[in-house]
Amino acid sequence: MNAVSMEAGLLLAGILFLLGMISVMIRRNIIFMLISVEIMLNAAGLAFIVAGSRWVQPDGQIMFIFILTMAAAEVSVGLALILQIYHQLKTLNSDTANFMKG
């Protein structure tokens, strides 16, 4: 049986997710917002690992692998978008990118 209680692991995942969410809401630098999304995805993966370890099943770890894949694809596309925004607007402030060009 596992020594670490499931509640503690889920609490850690919740705290990390909350920190990432707060950072997405308060920061205006778009790279920091991307980093915070990474933190939130990582916290979700941690919750899956905790659950998989609680019931000694490999499914939680498999979900973590899929989250990892998704995070890698997301960060590459997001960074390409950040490059384009920086070349267009010459700033990283996300509030300046609030207009559309049809």
Helix axes 30-54, 6-26, angle to 10 degrees: 170
DSSP tag of 55: T
Query: Can you give the length of the chain in residues?
Result: 102
User: Strands, E, within 1-102: which ranges?
Assistant: none
First to last CA, the chain: 59
Interacting positions 11-70 with another protein (CB under 8 A): 12, 15-16, 19-20, 22-23, 26-27, 29, 31-32, 34-36, 38-39, 42, 46, 49-50, 52-53, 56-59, 61-62, 64-66, 68-70
Binding site for another protein (CB under 8 A): 1-4, 8-9, 12, 15-16, 19-20, 22-23, 26-27, 29, 31-32, 34-36, 38-39, 42, 46, 49-50, 52-53, 56-59, 61-62, 64-66, 68-77, 79-84, 86-87, 92
